Structure 1
């Protein structure tokens, strides 16, 4: 009955089928606890309750299911000590159980020697729990064990040859995200032939373990962040021919990477010290991450030496020493989703052939020496979500019409270039845009009022974009767009949290005019309009931007007082209003008084945190002055009343004077008044 939305507890009647052998309630939205009556299923051999909302402790009656061979409880909220679960199974289930999946729960405590007594166990998964302590040595006595997953816990011990002594059938071993240390003799020959091995975050020593060499059936090898240093040994290239997935990232490997054109689907060498030319990869490779190394030379041979790259989805060559021009052979990479060439020494222009990347979702060219005008051919990349051309030498105006075809953009970063002209109003059509950085350019004109059309910036919801998910044999990986966002006066690099960030930075340009009040409808965390030529007052509704964490309006020509509503910005942790023409008292709030004086200097302000006190006679405070738009409204109202009064006076006396001094009109008026008095007198009689 799996995959049905029952949304209920396990009904008691379901526990009355004494001849039932197979029960599958996978992903049926069950809640509550497992009833004790479950022990009445005396014939059950397969019980699947994974991916529900079941909770509490496992009932003791589970130990009465003597024929139980498979029990899967993954993805629930079960609590309690794992040792208690093994005690429950120690009755009669201990010799029958072949598969036990307790992963993705909230089990705690230590694995005990009872684990080694489950003599028939073939598959054991207790990943994604809260276990600590050591791995019992007698796990090596589980002669039938084929798959062992203890990943994503807090285990901390030394693992030796004893732990594997009789595991001759072991095919899959996942133990990543723990703090385990492997200590074996240099000439140890394991009793197993693995297909999947993930030892990420272990302590393996400085050398690549020699015993891995003899794993002739290995398809996936992950030994990231294990402290290995040195060069790749000569035997590794022949050994790796069989691999489909290779992850050597976050180690201290150095020298050239000698293996090329291997048929891996995924290769991750990131965060090492490899140097020399980029190694070539096979046309079957989908995921390539060579970032954060010291690879040098041109990228042309990497991209252009092959004629068929139909399967490549992700290529990250960022943070290396690569030079030369961006090649023109992009017609061979039509299925590429993510391309990262940031922080290198690439030069020249972006070739028009970049338009062949019609599946491209993320283009990262940040911090190179690229120049030329904005590449018009990017308008063909209609699925583009993140575009980062920041810190280059691009010139010219931003094309207007191309943004219509790039309606899915979430990130635009053109920071630190030489673009000029007005900010295109067509940007306002990008309803998914969450990050806009046009700072440190030569843009002119006014801040577009139509920015209120940026729907993603006016909503608190986050969009599930900017990621590429793929499954390895042992885990699911999300490759995220990583974009540098300047906020709170510093640079932050966002990856997995990027989809939650909403930021607008138009600083250090030549923008003029007033700050549009429409900006206050945006749910931004960061707003930076500093170092422009903006005038007028800070919008009185600035307090509506209550999610702001960073606000920088410094180095403009803003005037008037600071609106009282700014006190509503309770999340604000960075504020800079310095070097404007602001005057009057700083509004009182816990938040504003906590900032340093540097946030307000270069104005005519008074009150804490400044040393200058506010007083009635203070020339910086005009008598009767009120804040923001309220002051403007009061002045307009006063002018209205004055004009009405003057108009009435002039009109009344103008008519009256004409009647008094014009003789015919005077006589007519007197006759008219006499008639009225006569009629009134006659009516009274």
Structure 2
């Protein structure tokens, strides 16, 4: 059975892949069982099976039973099309005894089961009890089908002659029937439930005592069956003395006894307990005493402590899988006793020691047998040995990734002539790797050296001896020229040469060599050139060309493409009229010089989830093709994240968005959109969490319907011409009231380049907070923001705004708000930046502001606030405190120099009456003054004589005053001199 590893993943490998179950015919099964049980002779009826014999027709009753069975099935792949005619022994999957004609084997396994290419489940529906008519059946295989709404039938326990039963990967549900314990002749039982579709809940068993009656059982696989309620499972299993293979992985078991007083499991050769949660010390444990074990898998089971010395007693061991636990320390010297060791998996444990010491402790008696060393994330240190005492002549898989290795890669790597997989990525290896390091690697298929300091050099005429399917060299040094040896790697499926210091023009031969690549990453170089016109004929599924200097237009894309990242390049011209990739899910074109309008071809990308066209030269209005095209169709685009900011787009709020019900993130900042905000936003975009319309020309009121967006946590309408008041129903936006942030997936596109490497897209957002623009990347999902600044909003600040307790940034500056600051604004305990400046707010500053312990920036300047500034530890820690209150002449007290009056302040009622009288007085006086001046002005305007008389009178008065002042002044001077 091939070993399957979960490489570089955090999650527990909860189940085997279908590759663990080979696809066998009934004849192969019979032969396997014959060898497996070491039976010297058998009856003709048992093993003389025939599918095509003309000697004997099948039994009529059994034919009827098979037809009734087929009638209850859904055969989507027409798998049972041959089930017609009188001779059922000729039907596909049906095998009969040559001597009696009875059906003895029924093999209806789904196609590709165990092929490694996934499972094609072909049968579904009900399993009719008519199968009980096949009482001579020895072998029954219904694996790799889709019986996802039924339980394992109880009548399965009444095939008393059954020796082989395989119900794996068929998605049965409910309880495993204890009637299976009646199958006393059973030797092979496979109930593996690990291959699961979304929403599938595997079967369970609360009592496995029925297993103890299967005394002939040699192979038991209950992988993925829920056994969480069973504590004493081992005594039951111990009652199966002939058991050779036991697989109980991912069964939610929680107990592993220290020992067995009397072990009957002396025949056990394979033990698989991976993916359970024992969470106990590695020793003592009952399985260390099973010295006859050949295959032991206890990965991801929660064992901890030092590597057990008892492993040295398991001299028969061939495959040892200990990954995903918390074993600490160097492997013990007793490992030298394991002379049959071929495969060692130790992923994500803590050796915390020298790699050279580790190699010295490997059993020298089996070094030439070792096929697999799987040691990523083991905290191995130091440099690799320059020479090996014994050559690893049979090694096919070497994985030392994600450790702390330093130094050069030794030349003996090139002598591992059977090596197929080499992972050295994510270390601190340096130096040069040249042709000699690869000279003997004729069989190499996967080469991963990413995230080291390695320089790879080769002559321009070098032809590598290998033909790779995976090549990852991210952050190694390949440049400045494009490596010519890549032209010979024409079978690569995953290629990553990102950040490798290439500053060359991309050669034409590269596009030919990369035509079969499904995951292609050349990002973060200085590669020039243009995308080929033949790009549509490539096999690419994910392509990342970002952060280069590629120019030219965007050609028609590969038909299987799901992700394209061309951001931060020099791409020009309009967007294509035919993208050519109907399954495209992520399209990143930001930071280019793309011009023209957004074409109607965008509407054909129905699978598109993430679209970023920001920071280009797009213009015109956004197409509304979907509005008409889908007026009678409820489906639309699947866009979740849409960013069009920093373009020259115009027109009203895009009506196209009415057909984007999945939209979570919308950014239209810094364009020329205008008009009113439509009320349908609250209804059609009910999933919206992030809305930024900043720096446009929207006008009118903020629609009340906008507050129906209960998930809204980021609203930025700043720098528009909005008027009216803030809707009090803003409290409906529970996204600003509860700790429930936007899913990271809404902002982030991750696509797999290999089992261990992901390329991430996380947009960069500039958010005006704390008085300055701050850069947010992935953490934007935690930002709760309300920014309505630089509009013409009026009225008071509604007290309901204090209910938005998750706000981190509140900016209402540069509006026309009046009235008082809400007294309960101190409820905004999470707020970090609060800006209410440049309004007409009056009254006192609420004392509750001093309770905002998260506050790091406050701006209340240029209002009509008055009274004493509240004191508090938090307010006193803010920087540039005087600027917080400037432009409010009525404020007094620290940090201002203006002292507050010592007299008691008037009561609110008296203050209110005095204020009313003062206002009335000034209103009356001002009105009288204006009226008087206006009457005089009108009179002088129409009466010329009156004007002349008035000016003559003024001249006379002036002369009299002047004479009087001059005489008085002369008299005073005379007296002074005297």
TM-score per shorter chain, which class?
Answer: 0.7 to 0.9
Aligned counterpart, 2:319: 46
Counterpart-to-counterpart distance in 1, 2:391 and 2:778: 42
CA–CA distance in structure 2, aligned partners of residues 571 and 15 of structure 1 = 55
Q: 1:49 to 1:255 in 2, by over 3 A?
A: same
1:101-135 CA distance string (max 9 Å, x none):
22234444433336795443221223233333333
Write the deviation string for residues 343-375 of structure 1: whole angstroms up to 9, x where unpaired. Answer: 111111111125675211111111111111112
Candidates 577, 589, 600, aligned match of 2:873: 589
What CA distance in whole angstroms lies between the structure 1 residues aligned with 2:421 and 2:593?
42
Determine the C-alpha separation between the residues in 1 that align with 2:293 and 2:820.
76
Alignment equivalent of 1:346, drawn from 594, 604, 618: 618
Task: Specify the alignment match of 1:185 in structure 2.
Answer: 459
* 1:3 and 2:250 aligned: yes
SS in 2 for 1:534: strand
Does the 8 Å CA contact 2:542/2:751 hold for their aligned counterparts? Answer: no
Residue 481 (structure 2) aligns with: 207
**Matched residue, 1:567:** 850
| 1:275 paired residue number | 551
Q: 2:707 aligns with which of 415, 423, 428?
A: 428
Conservation of the 8 A alpha-carbon contact between 1:228 and 1:251: yes
Q: In the TM superposition, what are the counterparts of 1:433-582 in structure 2 within 5 Å? A: 433-464=712-743, 465-466=745-746, 467-474=748-755, 475-480=757-762, 482-520=764-802, 521-582=804-865
* TM-score, with length taken from structure 2: 0.59
Work out whether residues 31 and 52 of structure 1, in 8 Å CA contact, stay in contact via their aligned partners in 2. yes
Question: Is 1:168–2:442 an aligned residue pair?
Answer: yes
2:341 is matched with which residue: 68, 71, 79?
68
Cα offsets for 1:506-564 (capped at 9, x unmatched): 11112223333333342122222211122233334444333333222221222334334
CA contact (8 A) 1:22 1:47 kept: yes
Return the offset for 1:327.
0.8
1:196 shift after superposition:
0.8
Matches within 5 A, 1:224-373: 224-258=498-532, 260-261=535-536, 262-299=538-575, 302-304=576-578, 306=580, 309-354=581-626, 357-373=636-652
Q: Note the C-alpha offset of 1:383.
A: 1.1
Length, aligned pairs only: 622
d(CA) in 1 for partners of 2:430, 2:801: 52
Residue in structure 2 matched with residue 615 of structure 1 by the alignment: 899
1:334 shift after superposition = 0.9
Aligned to 2:385: 112
Query: Does 61-70 or 325-334 show the bigger shift?
Result: 61-70
Deviations 1:291-344 (CA, angstroms, capped at 9, x unpaired): 111111111xx24264xx322111111111111111112342111111111111
Q: 1:130 to 1:529 in 2, by over 3 A?
A: farther
RMSD between aligned residues: 2.9
Q: Is 1:447–1:515's contact at 8 Å kept on the other side of the alignment?
A: yes
**Aligned equivalents of 1:379 and 1:525: distance in 2?**
30
The structure whose residues are more often strand, as a share, is: 1
Q: What's the TM-score, normalizing by structure 1?
A: 0.83
**Cα distance in 2 for residues equivalent to 1:290 and 1:373:** 28
- Name the CA distance, whole Å, in 1 between partners of 2:528 and 2:908: 67
Higher mean C-alpha deviation, range 490-499 or range 241-250: 490-499
- More moved, 342-351 vs 326-335: 326-335
Change (3 A) 1:328 1:19: same
Instruction: Please tell me whether the aligned partners of residues 406 and 428 of structure 2 are also in contact (alpha carbons under 8 angstroms).
Output: yes
Q: 1:558 to 1:120 in 2, by over 3 A?
A: farther
Residue pair 1:379, 1:403 contacting (<8 A) in 2 also? no
TM-aligned CA deviation for residue 89 of structure 1: 1.7
1:377 equivalent among 656, 669, 672? 656
SS for the counterpart of 1:497 is: helix
SS in 1 for 2:622: coil
Separation (CA, whole Å) in 2 of partners of 1:107 and 1:541: 57
Out of 588, 602, 615, which is 2:887 matched to? 602
CA distance in 1, matches of 2:701, 2:455: 59
**C-alpha distance in 1, partners of 2:327/2:797?**
53
Partners of 2:911 and 2:321 lie apart in 1 by 74
Question: In the aligned structure 2, how far is the partner of 1:571 from the partner of 1:132?
Answer: 44
1:621-659 per-residue CA deviation (whole Å, 9 max, x = no partner) reads x8458xxxxx979999xxxxxxxxxxxxxxxxxxxxxxx
SS in 2 for 1:294: coil
CA distance in 1, matches of 2:309, 2:892: 71
Determine the structure 2 residue equivalent to 1:649: none
Q: Contact 1:507 / 1:529 at 8 angstroms: preserved in 2? A: yes
Question: What is the SS of the residue equivalent to 1:235?
Answer: helix
Q: How far apart, in 2, do the equivalents of 1:542 and 1:92 lie?
A: 75
Quick one: distance in 1 between partners of 2:664 and 2:838?
Answer: 32
Q: Are the aligned partners of 2:893 and 2:899 in contact in 1 as well (CA < 8 Å)?
A: no
Bigger drift between 326-335 and 412-421 goes to: 326-335
User: Residues 143, 444 of structure 1: CA spacing in aligned structure 2 closer, same or farther, 3 A cutoff?
Assistant: same
